[in-house]
Amino acid sequence: MNILDHIIKDKRKEVALKKALIPVSQLERSVLFARDTLSLAKALRSSPAGIIAEHKRRSPSKSVINQSLNVQDVAKGYENAGVCGMSVLTDGKYFGGALDDLLLARASCNLPLLRKEFIIDNYQIWEAKAHGADVILLIAAILTITEIKQFSELAKQLQLEVLLEVHNEAELHKSIMPSLDMLGVNNRNLKTFEVSLETSKALSSLIPDDFVKVSESGISSIEAIKELQPYGYQGFLIGENFMKTDNPGASATQFINDLGL
């Protein structure tokens, strides 16, 4: 089993436990469930920089990135930096995140929030809405076409946008459907964890222009963004680059200033 298989196996157990504890009807009564969501796709289309900044404490490939910061400060810092949106990792076991991180980010900023999670069940989409998310991530590598359709259509019903992540041409071809808003190309090979921007370049021409193109993983320099913009990418997900510093908001501000767009 590779790391992704382990994550999904644990995620199925975790979701089953949560479903037994908190029914969907309770999630629907959440204060945040009725709020109007913000559009990340629109923010990316109208921004010259297109930065989605991430809150991530650790990862299976890098172990600890930053355990000492609180989410409120990170969210405020990112908003002040002028990013387009914030990605919040909510997986506990492998990434040190929590749904509470999403709640705290929502209370601290007015950015579109992406729930970064391994979604394998409708329940997690209701959860995302109840905890203040505006966007959900769907990962093509772990889902069937039927699941992608089902999950993205439920997200639409709940006024959530969908960022679908692919790693190769086969995943891209099975995934393109009208219920998606953004298509993300992950430059990290999930089996080897190697990163190459060539993945984004190779897949760019296969993504229809109806979708906002987002490049993910391995974007740690101004040069990387300038290299990918001619390929039609309007969104760039940056996590470790900001989170490994003492002040992610300040480093995001510096990064956006250095882009000079």
Between helix 122-130 and helix 145-157 the angle, nearest 10°, is: 30
Rounded CA separation 11/4 (Å): 10
Annotation marks residue 216 as catalytic: yes
Active site residue 28: no
**Which residue out of 171, 216, 240, 241 is catalytically annotated?**
216
Beta strand 182-186 pairing with 63-64: unpaired
State the residue for tokens 């320099």: 221
Catalytic residue among 217, 240, 241, 251: 217
The residue from 165, 171, 200, 240 that is catalytic is 165
- The answer to whether the CB of 219 falls within 8 A of the CB of 225 is yes
Token pair 């930053």 is at which residue? 66
Cβ atoms 228, 236 nearer than 8 A:
yes
- What does the alpha-carbon distance between residue 155 and residue 41 come to, in Å, rounded to a whole number? 14
Q: Would the CA dihedral through 251, 255, 258, 261 be positive or negative?
A: negative
56 noted as active-site residue: yes
Backbone angles phi, psi at 66, to 5 degrees: -165, 110
User: Which of the following is catalytic: 56, 87, 240, 251?
Assistant: 56
Q: Is 257 a catalytic residue?
A: no
CA 254 to mean position of chain CA atoms: 22
The residue from 11, 116, 129, 213 that is catalytic is 116
Is 156 considered catalytic here?
Answer: no
Decide: residue 204, CB within 10 A, 0-12 exposed, 13-18 middle, 19+ buried: middle
Q: Which residue in 186, 200, 215, 251 is the catalytic one?
A: 186
The answer to whether residues 75 and 108 touch, using CB atoms and an 8 Å cutoff, is yes
Give the residue numbers annotated as catalytic, written as ranges. Answer: 54, 56, 116, 165, 186, 216-217
